[in-house]
Chain A
Amino acid sequence: QSALTQPPSASGSPGQSVTISCTGTSSDVGAYNYVSWYQQHPGKAPKLMIYDLSKRPSGVPDRFSGSKSGNTASLTVSGLQAEDEADYYCTSYAGNNNLVFGGGTKLTVL
């Protein structure tokens, strides 16, 4: 199980859109539509933002969206707001009752 690859950092100005990538392999991201995204503010527990590639839990703004192309999943945050500044992690099911996380991306709102 190798960690999924995310860029260490991403940034955007308020109101802009930013996309965070999450690259895996044909055994995890490419094989299943079970990609989730989590937001984590400093000192807090993670919060589920996207599951099953593109579904939003109740209460998550529609500014957050997910997609996938091949072995790479993406999280797009539109209309950036100050409170979106946080760390974001992707995960994917990897078969055989295994899960794998990405290394995390620090999103900065300029």
Chain B
Amino acid sequence: EMQLVESGGGLVQPGGSLKLSCAASGFTFSDSVIYWVRQASGKGLEWVGRIRNKANNYAPGYADSLKGRFTISRDESKNTAYLQMNSLKTEDSAIYYCSRSTEVMPFGMDVWGQGTTVTVSS
């Protein structure tokens, strides 16, 4: 079974940092592009960023509004992707999902995790 499992969410103070993890299983992680998408409570989905696969030099891409604060990385040996979030703001509070796409559907995210909740509050 193809699966993504997020972890690392929690309560953090404004200005703080948090690193989320996305562990993959059941598919070839190295061939996949990994996305991060977030959803504030009662709101819509928002693209955070993505990291491409080895064939595409692990190139990252980010939503313009988040550039400079968020960094996506991946560890092929652990089949895990990460989202490093710095200088967190209250408006970053959301459920953070990771998902993946493949060369067959380069922008279609066909596997999603269950999400991890980040709360930024003092």
Contact = CB atoms under 8 A, between A and B. Distances in A.
A46 B97 contact: yes
A45 B97 contact: yes
B64 interface: yes
A97 B45 contact: no
Nearest to B4: A45
A51 B105 contact: yes
Interface string A68-99: 00000000000000000001010111001111
Nearest to A1: B64
Given A91-B107, A99-B47, A45 B115 contact: yes
B107 A99 contact: yes
Contacts, number: 73
Nearest to B52: A97
Contacts of A96: 61
A48 B110 contact: yes
Give the interface size class of chain B.
20 to 34
Contacts of A47: 112
A97 B105 contact: no
Give the interface size class of chain A.
20 to 34
B60 A97 contact: yes
A34 B107 contact: yes
A102 B97 CA distance: 17
Interface of A: 1, 3, 34, 36, 38, 40, 45-48, 51-52, 55, 57, 87, 89, 91-93, 96-104
Given A51-B108, A98-B61, 5 more contacts: A46-B97, A47-B112, A48-B108, A57-B110, A92-B107
27 contacts: A1-B65, A3-B44, A34-B107, A36-B105, A36-B107, A36-B109, A38-B45, A45-B114, A46-B45, A46-B99, A46-B109, A48-B108, A51-B107, A51-B108, A55-B105, A57-B108, A57-B110, A89-B44, A89-B45, A91-B107, A92-B107, A97-B61, A98-B47, A101-B45, A102-B44, A103-B44, A104-B44
What are the 3 closest A-B residue pairs judged by CB atoms, nearest first?
A51-B108, A97-B61, A104-B44
